[in-house]
């Protein structure tokens, strides 16, 4: 029988209202051998609000030290420790520290589990009023203007609803850039302070939202943007319609059936396709050399 390894627990924390904390989070906070927290001070405030007293060792685990601290946590896991990973809000590794530790734990064949909790991404999607059957999470946009423009251009034709995180001091600039890349009329929603006292969801076209944000927006912000509309079908000329019918006729279809099939394929009335065929035939006759 091999050595007994520990368990890495990824726990979702409230994104605003502390009352949203799942019951399992309280149990894990009270019993974990090690708690790796993005901000130990915020963790302390959370445990106090929840009435929980951790018994395990508390370590900081944030962007600046996660590379160096990951091996230490993996060593604890290999030694049998139950390690709880929490971030300031929401699920670890979703635009927050955690990915490196999860990857390292998986590589070391350590069990990884999760305590599901509040999610700014899903909450904003549900409140946006935009289609949510398919969506993509884009995280934070680059801070530099050129990099941001290139990233937005790369998703300008994305058909799925898109979710972005943004800082309050950059939201007006980001919305203006989105309006430039996606169009002023693209529907969107700016969700701020979700589940908190001053929660607000501002919905409208990107151009209007950019103008609204220019006056200043505070709080934690999630932006939901509708996907690109389907590309308009190419308008076929009468000659092109007639050629499509001719191809089917050459393949053995009767003209009536060929016209009906082309009309259905391009989304036009059969009469319009028929008129195109007649016009093409008349043009052929007009161009034919006169008989001596």
Q: What is the pLDDT of residues 71-124, one digit of tens each?
A: 999 999 999 999 999 999 988 887 778 899 999 999 999 999 999 989 999 999
User: 255 versus 283: which is more confidently predicted?
Assistant: 255
How far apart, in whole angstroms, are the C-alpha atoms of residue 133 and residue 225? 14
Q: Which of 172-176, 177-181, 240-244 has the lowest average pLDDT?
A: 240-244
Mean pLDDT of the chain, nearest integer: 91
Q: Does the pLDDT value for residue 253 go beyond 70? A: yes
Q: Does the pLDDT value for residue 1 go beyond 50? A: no
Q: What is the pLDDT of residue 125?
A: 96
Four-CA torsion 216, 222, 225, 227, nearest 10 degrees: 160
Q: What is the pLDDT of residues 124-139, one digit of tens each?
A: 999 999 999 999 999 9
Query: Smallest Cα–Cα separation from 35: which of 107, 110, 96, 86?
Result: 86
> Is residue 195 a contact partner of residue 130, using CB atoms and an 8 Å limit?
no
Q: What is the pLDDT of residues 179-211, one digit of tens each?
A: 999 999 999 999 999 999 999 999 999 999 999
Q: What are phi and psi of 262, to 5 degrees?
A: -65, -40
Q: Does the pLDDT value for residue 2 go beyond 60? A: no
Q: Does the pLDDT value for residue 235 go beyond 90? A: no
Q: How confident is the model at residue 212 (pLDDT cuts 50, 70, 90)?
A: very high
Q: What is the pLDDT of residue 280?
A: 85
Classify 96 as helix, strand or coil. Answer: coil
Q: In the chain, what percentage of residues exceed pLDDT 90? A: 74
Q: What is the pLDDT of residue 292?
A: 54
Element (H, E) at 131: none
The mean pLDDT value for 242-256 works out to 87
Largest CA distance in the chain: 108
Q: What is the pLDDT of residue 164?
A: 97
Q: Does the pLDDT value for residue 3 go beyond 70? A: no
> Is residue 25 a contact partner of residue 117, using CB atoms and an 8 Å limit?
yes
Q: Does the pLDDT value for residue 231 go beyond 70? A: no
The mean pLDDT value for 230-259 works out to 84
Classify 13 as helix, strand or coil. Answer: strand
């Amino acid at each position: 029988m091999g050595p007994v390894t520990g368990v890495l627990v990824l726990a979702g924390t409230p994104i605003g209202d502390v009352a949203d904390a799942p019951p399992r989070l309280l149990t894990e906070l009270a019993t974990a051998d090690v708690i790796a927290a993005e901000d130990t001070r915020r963790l302390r405030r959370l445990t106090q609000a929840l009435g929980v007293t951790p018994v395990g060792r508390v370590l900081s685990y944030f962007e600046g030290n996660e590379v160096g601290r990951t091996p230490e946590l993996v060593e604890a896991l290999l030694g049998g420790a139950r390690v709880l990973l929490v971030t300031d809000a929401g699920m670890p590794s979703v635009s927050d520290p955690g990915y490196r530790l999860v990857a390292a734990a998986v590589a070391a064949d350590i069990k990884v589990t999760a305590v599901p909790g509040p999610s700014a991404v899903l909450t904003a999607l549900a409140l946006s009023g935009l289609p949510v059957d398919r969506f993509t999470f884009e995280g934070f946009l680059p801070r530099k203007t050129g990099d941001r423009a290139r990233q937005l251009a790369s998703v300008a034709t994305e058909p799925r609803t898109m979710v972005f995180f943004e800082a309050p001091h950059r939201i007006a600039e980001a919305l203006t850039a989105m309006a430039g890349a996606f169009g002023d009329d693209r529907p969107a929603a700016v969700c701020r302070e979700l589940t908190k006292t001053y929660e607000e969801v501002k919905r409208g076209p990107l151009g209007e939202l950019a103008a609204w944000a220019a006056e200043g927006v505070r709080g934690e912000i999630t932006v939901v943007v509708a996907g690109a509309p389907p590309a308009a079908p190419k308008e076929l000329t009468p000659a092109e319609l007639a050629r499509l019918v001719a191809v089917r006729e050459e393949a053995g279809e009767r003209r009536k059936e060929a016209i009906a099939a082309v009309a259905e394929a391009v989304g036009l009335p059969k009469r319009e396709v028929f008129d195109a065929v007649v016009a093409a035939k008349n043009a052929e006759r007009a161009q034919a050399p006169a008989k001596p």
